[in-house]
Amino acid sequence: MIALIAGTGALPGVVAAEMKVPPLVCALEGNAPDNLTVDVTFRLETLGTFLTVLRDNGVQRLCMSGAIGRPAIDPNAIDVATRPLVPVIAQAMASGDDGALRAAITIFEQAGFQVSGAHEIAPDLLPPLGYLTDARPGKQDQDDVTRGAAIITAMAGLDIGQACVVWRHQALAIEGAFGTDWMLRSLTTRPDAGGGVLFKAPKPGQDRRVDLPTIGPDTITAACAAGLGGLAIEAGGVMVLERARTLSECNRLGLFLWVRGAG
């Protein structure tokens, strides 16, 4: 039995649809996925008990997918089974995204569960290398993508984000806690004539079993509204939701999508 620890958004539903056997769908309270029925809801204060629930349901493997917010923890609600995990949970809550997710993986693995990435269960979410659209990046675009890759690498040590927008070698925006869509919306009132590229890639060194970045049709629409000329993503490191629709939206709006090799 596989458990799907599902966060918000469409990704958990896509992953669940790829499973031959329906998973046990679990969600942290307040973080239910889109269009997917939740079988088990849990809280961090009762995480130890939740691990027992997984074992009682025959779960041996689990996958975490979707966005999860950081909940406020009520110390008075921590149950007996969760008390031994409090130091790890406290450290995770005080860490950046990478640290928190690594702590979650550690807890699940020490409890005897195998942790798999969404892209391992649904490999078609990773698009092939190359130019996937009618439009192609020009020399300036390619240079800006190279600059974007360098920015993501530099951001890794600070655990900031997985995307940036670059125009003529200048960083116009960097993804933070509010995510890619918010970053793109912040550029809709930019004071220049537009241009630039969105580059998205995993943070160097991150555990790719969790928090692998995604794009989808809404990303394309938002990139166009931000005045960008196209998008580039790292091959093998960014999942594309609704690929056919995403590419159709790129072609309709005249944006390029380049799946670029790492490095």
Kindly report, residue by residue over 2-24, the tens digit of the pLDDT: 999 999 988 999 999 989 899 99
All structural domains of the chain, each given as residue ranges with its CATH number in brackets, are: 2-121 (3.40.50.20), 126-260 (3.40.140.80)
Per the DSSP assignment, residues forming a β-bridge with 116 are 63
Kindly report, residue by residue over 52-72, the tens digit of the pLDDT: 999 999 999 999 999 887 788
Q: Phi/psi at 98 (nearest 5 deg)?
A: -60, -45
Spatial contact of 30 and 14, defined as CB atoms under 8 Å apart: no
3-state secondary structure of 90: helix
Alpha-carbon distance of 228 to 166, in angstroms, equals 9
Rounded mean pLDDT of 21-31? 93
Share of residues in the chain with pLDDT > 90 (%): 73
* pLDDT band per the 50, 70, 90 thresholds, residue 92: confident
Dihedral sign (CA 200, 202, 208, 213): negative
Spatial contact of 26 and 44, defined as CB atoms under 8 Å apart: no
Kindly report, residue by residue over 209-256, the tens digit of the pLDDT: 888 899 999 999 999 999 999 999 999 999 999 999 999 999 999 999
Tokens standing for 230?
Answer: 């196209």
The predicted structure's pLDDT at residue 161: 83
Query: Nearest-CA neighbor of 26 among 10, 51, 17, 14?
Result: 51
The predicted structure's pLDDT at residue 6: 94
Tokens standing for 64?
Answer: 């975490």
